[in-house]
Chains A and B, each alone.
Chain A
Amino acid sequence: MSQPFAKLPAWADYGLIPLVNLAVAFLVAGLVVLLVGENPLQAAALMIKGAFGSGEGIGYTLYYATNFIFTGLCVAVAFHCGLFNIGGEGQAYLGGLGVSLVCLSLGNVLPWWLTFPLAILGAALAGALWALIPAWLQARRGSHIVITTIMFNFIAASLMVYLLVGALKPATSQAPETAGFGLGGQLPQLGWLLQLFGLQVRSAPLNVSFLLALASAFLVWVLIWRTKLGYEIRTMGFSPRAADYAGISQTKIIVITMMISGALAGMMALNPIMGAQHRMQLDFVSGAGFVGIAVALMGRSHPVGIVLAAILFGMLYQGGAEIAFDMPNISRDMIVIIQGLVILFAGALEHMFRPAIQRLFGRIAGSDLRAAPIATGESH
């Protein structure tokens, strides 16, 4: 306790600490790679080459990143309110229902630029509604939102299986998926954007929803830091009692925040369904909702950090698929390990390295400015 603690400068708080956490996570992941008898450095090189070495690689990386930006924002918005929304997976799954209903009914009638806004609305609405019940239960009945959202993930999975093997499946088909969408239900690809830089994207399904993801990130920034609602959300997250004292309705803020969070998760469905597959398939979310947790923790719940972290995880997804060709022992499940390690080191163990780094900064600051005000204990 006698050691001086300095308040960290912003670049260390938002840049250095996540990088240290990430480095440790990769170090441990490297041990797993060693354990299966491959060279971690070679694996990393292959991964980076697979993700960024070709236009197609970049296209896929950004395609996956699109999913993770949405789910990362979903988790982050809830974090700002002090809520842990673990239900992004289920909310995204339901979002797919919203997209599919719009595209199946209007895809053959309207052009894509008219279907798209409606599909966004459908996805956001479905996701938001799926988050509404856990939110309301948290706000009014005090049921723990983590548990209820987990339960809702399972309920969503059962519901969607039921619909995809039943009502949504065309009678002629065997596979558990909806019919293909008409042209109006298909988003334009963004390949031309990469071609401007002389890159060939080939089959990479990067599409317009990537731009929507970036726009959403910007809007989340505006919402959280530039609006009254955002201020209320952050107040609630910082101190529910202070929010209560300031006359902010807990129920209202929790419900609205969770619905925004659910809407963002729901919008993730646009990317794979409307942008790539042009139909809804069973289990299309495939864990993206959970990756969002790691992305939000990595990005320190800030939209800029989230976009960067999402691209990082997009790289892991795409590069991980490429590694499997050269190193058959390493499959995409490696990403699940890295994701877990990132959540562990950037989330649960975030306090592990912080005191040491603070002490380091404290010593540097203390040696040249003795009189500088020094905060003690944990600064957050």
Chain B
Amino acid sequence: MDSYVTVLQLLDSTIRLSVPLLFACLAGLYSERAGIFDIGLEGKMLAGAFAAGTAAYLTGSAMVGLLAAVLVSVLLGLVHGFASITHRGNQIVSGVAINFIAAGTTVILGQAWFSQGGRTPSLPSSARFGTLQLPGAEALKDVPVIGHLYSELISGHSVLVYLAFLMVPFTWWVLQRTRFGLRLRAVGENPAAVDTAGISVTWLRYRAVICCGILCGLAGSYLAQAQGAGFVKDMTAGKGYIALAALIFAKWRPVNAMFACLLFGFLDALAIRMQGHPLPLIGEVPVQFMQALPYMLTVILLAGFIGKAIPPKAGGVPYVKER
């Protein structure tokens, strides 16, 4: 029973840690499926978290914080779109630029406005997304095994956690079952064909970039308003890049993306858990090894040793209309 509880706790923190990855990963999925590579997930998430922390503190409303996060993140997404769609600039260079702009601006503005070393003041619980008790969680708590599972693992998360996991089937449905999704995928594989059909490549790609911005904003809002209570300097700490790695790991598919994010979240949770606990046979695994594991796995995958990750065909290539 004791080890069962430990496992449940581990899985519980896995879910919490994988949510920002999942939002960002799905964000990248919309963008990259439409042929726009996005290294700037990290920056958009960070700027979103800052906007969420600031707006939620100033207004005291959790919803306003979330909307601010989405707004700022979408704006940065539009900058990326302006550079890479309208001006056909290098998408990777543009993404890198956005990451730096977000990293610098959040600290400078945070310091100037709140003078707390780049963080925003901690949020009261009304300005955060509190945990949600699912119906019956309390009643089922004492039922062995399943009750525990339900009340500990499935119930008791913030609303954004459920939203993140609902976004997975939703994204699948959008991509696979709607006209917009079909066109989105087509524009990432063969934009010329989409253009020939009389559909605007530019507008489609802009919409993909906006979807990406919305989801990155949600990731930022989760970091500042659910997982934490306010914005902290550099609070994304490379999560945007892990999300990118998860996206490749998932071969640009929504359901796979969920599993990849859960895996990387699990590794993170395990690394925290295992600190100072030696494993049988192996001895103590250095925490740095666990931290580097998602990146190493991605490199191995990219090398084609665990199946082959084939990106959308037109990814990274600006579309030039024929004249």
Taken together as a complex, chains A and B put the C-alpha atoms of A352 and B102 apart, in Å, by 22
Q: In angstroms, how far is the closest chain A Cβ from the Cβ of B293?
A: 9
User: What CA separation (Å) do A154 and B243 show in the bound complex?
Assistant: 13
Measured between alpha carbons, how far is A148 from B248 in the docked complex, in Å? 11
Stretch at the interface among B5-13, B93-101, B197-205, B253-261: B93-101
Q: At the interface, yes or no: B116 with Cβ under 8 Å from chain A? A: no
A154, A290, A339, A351: the one contacting B87 at CB < 8 Å is A351
**How far apart are the CA atoms of A214 and B244 in the complex, in Å?**
37
Interface pick from A31-39, A178-186, A241-249, A361-369: A31-39
In contact, A344 and B83 (Cβ under 8 angstroms): yes
- Give complex CA distance A293, B100 in Å: 11
Contacts of A313 in B (CB 8 A): none
- Residue picked from A37, A141, A158, most chain B C-beta under 10 Å: A158
A331 x B83 contact (CB < 8 A): no
Is A137 on the interface with B (CB-CB < 8 A)? yes
> Which residues 148-194 of B sit at the A interface, judged by CB distance below 8 A?
none
Please encode chain A, from 18 to 61, with 1 for each CB lying within 8 Å of some chain B CB and 0 for all others.
00000000000000100111000000000000000000000000
What residues of chain A lie closer than 8 Å to B88, measured between beta carbons?
Answer: 351
Whole-angstrom distance from the CB of B5 to the nearest CB of chain A? Answer: 30
CB-based contact A336/B104 at 8 Å: yes
Let me know if A152 is at the binding interface, CB within 8 A: yes
CB distance from A211 to the nearest CB of B (A): 30
For A339-350 the 0/1 string (1 means CB < 8 A from B) is: 111011001111
| Binary contact track A73-99/B, C-beta < 8 Å → 1, others 0 | 000000000001010000000000000
Q: Does B124 contact A (CB under 8 A)?
A: no
* A336 and B111 in contact, given A347-B94, A349-B87 (Cβ under 8 angstroms): no
**Contact between B104 and A347, CB atoms less than 8 A apart:** no
B306 an interface residue at 8 Å Cβ cutoff? no
| A121 beta carbon closer than 8 Å to chain B | no
In angstroms, Cα B94 to Cα A293, docked, is 12
Residue ID in chain B nearest A146 by CB atoms: B92
- Binding stretch for chain A, among B56-64, B66-74, B137-145, B284-292: B284-292
Q: How many A-B residue pairs have CB under 8 A?
A: 153
Main secondary structure of the interface of B (DSSP, over half): helix
Assess the A155–B296 pair: CB atoms within 8 A. yes
A340, B99: Cβ atoms closer than 8 Å: yes
What chain B residues lie within 8 Å of A143 (beta carbons)?
A: 299, 302-304
Structural contact, B101 and A154, CB atoms closer than 8 A: no
* Interface bits B292-323 vs A (CB < 8 Å: 1, else 0): 10011011001110000001000000000001
Residue B214 at the chain A interface, CB threshold 8 Å: no
CB distance from B21 to the nearest CB of A (A): 14
The answer to whether B89 touches A147 (Cβ under 8 A) is no
B245 lies within 8 A of chain A by Cβ = yes
Q: Are A35 and B109 in contact (CB under 8 A)?
A: yes
- Do A330 and B83 touch across chains, with their CB atoms under 8 A apart? no
Question: Is A331 a contact partner of B97 (Cβ separation < 8 A)?
Answer: no
Report whether over half of chain A's contact residues are helix, strand or loop; otherwise say mixed: helix
Q: Which residues of A contact B288 (CB under 8 A)?
A: 158-159, 161-162
Q: Residue on A with the closest CB to B37?
A: A146
A151 at the interface (CB under 8 A from B): yes
Distance of B98 from chain A, by nearest CB (Å): 7
Given the known inter-chain contacts A151-B299, A330-B108, A331-B107, please indicate yes or no for A159 contacting B292, CB distance below 8 A: yes
CA distance A162 to B302 in the complex (A): 25
CB-based nearest A residue for B106: A333
- Residues of chain A contacted by B299 (CB below 8 angstroms): 133, 137, 143, 148, 151-152, 155
B104 touches A348 (CB 8 A): no
Contact B112 A141 (CB under 8 A): no
Residue of B nearest to A38 (CB): B112
Interface residues of A in 315-342 (CB under 8 A from B): 329-331, 333-341
A336 CA to B96 CA, complexed, in Å: 11
- Interface flag for A150 (CB, 8 Å): yes
Please give, as numbers and ranges, the residues of chain A lying within 8 Å of B248 by CB-CB distance. Answer: 147
Question: How far is A154 from B42 in the complex, measured between Cα atoms in Å?
Answer: 14
Which one of A37, A84, A348 lies within 8 Å of B84 (CB-CB)?
A348
Would you call A333 and B108 a contact (CB within 8 A)?
Answer: yes
B303 & A137 in contact (Cβ 8 Å cutoff): yes
**Taking A340-B99, A344-B94 as contacts, is the C-beta distance between A333 and B104 under 8 angstroms?**
yes
Complex Cα–Cα for A376 and B308 (A): 42
Task: Tell me if A264 is interfacial: C-beta within 8 Å of chain B.
Answer: no
Question: B136 at interface (Cβ–Cβ under 8 A)?
Answer: no
Tell me which of A35, A151, A343 contacts B298 (CB under 8 A): A151
Residues of chain B contacted by A297 (CB below 8 angstroms): 93
CB distance from A1 to the nearest CB of B (A): 8
Partner of B97, one of A35, A158, A340, A351: A340
Are B97 and A343 within 8 A (Cβ)?
yes
Interchain nearest-CB distance for A151 vs B (Å): 4
For residue B105, give the distance in angstroms from its CB to the closest CB of chain A. Answer: 6
User: Are A151 and B295 in touch, CB under 8 angstroms?
Assistant: yes
A sample of 30 inter-chain contacts (CB < 8 A) reads A35-B109, A35-B112, A86-B96, A137-B299, A143-B302, A144-B311, A148-B302, A152-B299, A154-B292, A155-B295, A158-B289, A161-B288, A290-B96, A293-B96, A331-B108, A333-B107, A333-B108, A337-B104, A338-B104, A340-B100, A340-B102, A344-B101, A347-B89, A347-B90, A347-B94, A348-B89, A348-B91, A348-B97, A349-B82, A352-B89
- Give 15 A-B pairs besides A37-B112, A343-B100, A352-B87 with Cβ atoms closer than 8 angstroms: A84-B92, A141-B303, A142-B304, A150-B39, A154-B241, A155-B292, A159-B288, A329-B111, A329-B112, A338-B104, A344-B101, A347-B94, A349-B83, A349-B89, A351-B88
